[in-house]
Amino acid sequence: MIKAAVLKAPEDIQIDEFPFPDHGTVIKTEAVGVCGTDPHVYNNTIATQHPLIMGHELLGVVQQLDGKTLSKQSDKINPGDRVFIAPGIDCNECFYCENIGSLCKDRRFYGINITSEAPPHLHGGFSEFLALVPNTTLLKVPDSMPTEVVVLIEPMACGIRAVKQAFPELEKIKNSTIVILGVGPVGLFATVASKLYGARKIIVIDRLQHRLDFAKQFGTDLVVDRSKYEGQELSKHVKRESNNGNGADAVIECTGELEAVEYGLPMLRKGGRFVEKGIYADMGNVQVSPSSICTQNIEFVGTSYTYLQDFKDAIEALKRMDFPYHKIVTDRFGIEEARKAIMAVIARECMKVIIDPTINK
């Protein structure tokens, strides 16, 4: 029998056992990252169907293979391959799939909106095995890469996508000043991506000293402790440090906090771009002056979905080991400790939390 942590109802996780699937593609879970989105799934801020096996930052080994399950975009996959599982599955039929790509209106996500109610049940990473649904994309990863590095592919891809949203013409990132609001895992990887793509100056802002200390090891030029500033002084200070006082070329919001929008927008130069990455769940509204966006020619864009190329770019970036990625995973929990893992993410006392199915076995 296969052990899994099942979200039965909001804030109610129980350990269940399921039979091994008798058909389809099955992945033996090596590790799964606990995302900042997971607490919202846990408490139903992001509405989902229950029961649900959470976990969408997926890494494992192909245990059983049915080629009909896989996307046409997949690498050539064989049993025994170590793979990253792209968490989103597009319908390939809607307007967005046909005309834009990666913005599918009916997109399904492992660990977020694919219920575990019906066999084969195992559609999330908080489990010893993962059963794939049709049209899943797998990407092979080297056996030589440590678990604590490979499990970072999904958040690394999110950071890369945020930077690409900030600079649709990526060459223009060179000689730019970028401000990252919040240096949890995604903010940290937005910092890394900004550095790898050639930003001239990267400023990161957080109120947690241990996260600012992390940022110093990952390409940051200036760290700012926002707890030391009151009112508009934070925005003014950061603007002074950007482009000779003109403001940042791009601000990427990764805190997941509404107030970050209000203090982040004034940090931009005229014609700058604000990227909203952190507020995925509906947290309410903020006051924004349309006239300031108009007169300053500011662009405000959102990003929630990640493209296949972003995952490929993330794998290549992590393989280069330009930074001490192995330090990012600070906390590991077993499947029975799934709730504790989510609480650790909520407390923000960690950097990256993962669930390792071999713990407590």
pLDDT for the residue numbered 161: 97
| 171, amino acid identity | E
For 10, the token pair is: 């909001």
Q: How far apart, in whole angstroms, are the C-alpha atoms of residue 142 and residue 276?
A: 33
Burial class (CB in 10 A: 0-12, 13-18, 19+), 169: exposed
Buried b (16+ CB within 10 A) or exposed e, 335-349: bebbbebbebbeeee
pLDDT tens track, the chain, 361 positions: 999 999 999 999 999 999 999 999 999 999 999 999 999 999 999 989 999 999 999 999 999 999 889 998 788 999 999 999 999 999 889 999 888 877 898 999 999 999 999 999 999 999 999 999 999 999 999 999 999 999 999 999 999 999 999 999 999 999 999 999 999 999 999 999 999 999 999 999 999 999 999 999 999 999 999 999 988 899 999 999 999 999 999 999 999 999 999 999 999 999 999 999 998 888 889 888 899 999 999 999 999 889 999 999 999 999 999 999 999 999 999 999 999 999 999 999 899 999 999 987 5
127 three-class SS: strand
pLDDT for the residue numbered 58: 97
Burial class (CB in 10 A: 0-12, 13-18, 19+), 306: buried
pLDDT for the residue numbered 95: 94
Tell the residue number behind the tokens 């130069």, with chain if given. 269
User: Widest CA span of the chain, in angstroms?
Assistant: 64
User: 179 and 238 in contact (C-beta within 8 Å)?
Assistant: yes
**Residues facing residue 57 across a β-bridge:** 33
Q: With residue 157 as reference, give the H or E element that holds it.
A: helix 153-166
pLDDT for the residue numbered 186: 95
Burial class (CB in 10 A: 0-12, 13-18, 19+), 168: exposed
For 105, the token pair is: 């209106």
Q: How far apart, in whole angstroms, are the C-alpha atoms of residue 5 and residue 10?
A: 13
Kindly report the CA angle at 151 between 147 and 154, in degrees rounded to 5? 165
Q: How far apart, in whole angstroms, are the C-alpha atoms of residue 235 and residue 199?
A: 20
User: 251 and 275 in contact (C-beta within 8 Å)?
Assistant: yes
Q: How far apart, in whole angstroms, are the C-alpha atoms of residue 15 and residue 23?
A: 23
pLDDT for the residue numbered 100: 84
Query: Which CATH homologous superfamily contains domain 155-302?
Result: NAD(P)-binding Rossmann-like Domain (3.40.50.720)
CATH architecture observed for domain 2-152+328-355: Alpha-Beta Complex (3.90)
- Comparing CA positions, the residue from 204, 228, 202 lying closest to residue 214 is 204
36 to 128, 231, 272, 351: CA distances (angstroms): 21, 27, 27, 11
- Cα–chain-centroid distance for residue 288? 26
Domain residue extents for the chain: 2-152+328-355, 155-302
pLDDT for the residue numbered 361: 58
| The pairing of beta strand 329-333 with beta strand 248-253 | unpaired
pLDDT for the residue numbered 231: 83
Q: With residue 16 as reference, give the H or E element that holds it.
A: strand 12-18
For 143, the token pair is: 């056996």
User: 342 and 331 in contact (C-beta within 8 Å)?
Assistant: no
Q: How far apart, in whole angstroms, are the C-alpha atoms of residue 5 and residue 16?
A: 6
Task: Concatenate the DSSP letters of all residues of 209-240 into one string.
Answer: HHHHHHHTTTT-SEEEEGGG--TTHHHHHHHH
